[in-house]
Structure 1
Amino acid sequence: MIKGKQRSYLKSLANTMNPIMQIGKGGVSETVLDQIDDLLEARELIKISILNNAGLDAKEVAVEVCEQLGAEYVQSMGSKIVIYRRSEENQKIQLPR
């Protein structure tokens, strides 16, 4: 579980990021989860865009993905979500204490 100060730090990092993945009307499938898992392992912090035609709530998608992949929900902004999971092999982000 990340703390408030750490969440704020991750939000500031995500502020300048572009979404690197989109979730469409197919929703959160096993393939999508595998792709997100790979991205989290490589980058630790990712921003995902939920397409308008998907008809999905961004926060609900974020919570579902985080539960299934053991990630941390950072924030949702409109149709974009930010999630974080510390990588065991590729640690790139040093969180404040």
Structure 2
Amino acid sequence: MLTSRQKKFLRSEAHHVSPIFQVGKGGVNEQLIKSVQEALEARELIKISILQNCEEDKNEVAEELAKKTGSELVQLIGLTIVLYKESKKSKKLLLPRT
């Protein structure tokens, strides 16, 4: 579980990151989950865009992606999700302590 200070740090780090995935009409599927897991392992911090034609609620999409990928939901702002998961192999971000 991330503290508010850690989330603030991650939000600032994510500011300049571009979304690398889009959730559209198909919603959250197994292929998307697998791709997100791989991207989180490589990058630790990613953004995902939710398209206008997505039929699911944006909050449900964000929570489902975080849960199924084992990541932390850092932020949901507008139609953009920011996810974080510490990498096992290539750690890049050093989170502030409490």
- TM-score, scaled relative to structure 2: 0.94
- RMSD, aligned CA: 0.8
Match of 2:34 in 1: 34
The 1-side partners of 2:7 and 2:58 are apart by 18
The correspondence of residues 1-97 of structure 1 with structure 2, limited to 5 A, is 1-97=1-97
What is the alpha-carbon distance in structure 1 between the residues aligned to residue 59 and residue 41 of structure 2? Answer: 21
Identity of aligned residues (%): 46
Return the letter of the residue paired with 1:13.
Answer: E
> Which moves more between the two structures, 51-60 or 31-40?
51-60
Contact 1:74 1:84 in 2 (8 A): yes
Structure 1 SS opposite 2:6: helix
Structure 1 portions without partners, runs of 5+: none
Q: 2:58 and 2:73 mapped to 1: Cα distance? A: 11
* Residues 50 and 56 in structure 1, CA contact (< 8 A), matched pair in contact too: no
For residues 8 and 58 of structure 1, the distance between their equivalents in structure 2, rounded to whole angstroms, comes to 21
Give structure 1 regions of 4+ aligned residues with deviation exceeding 4 angstroms: none
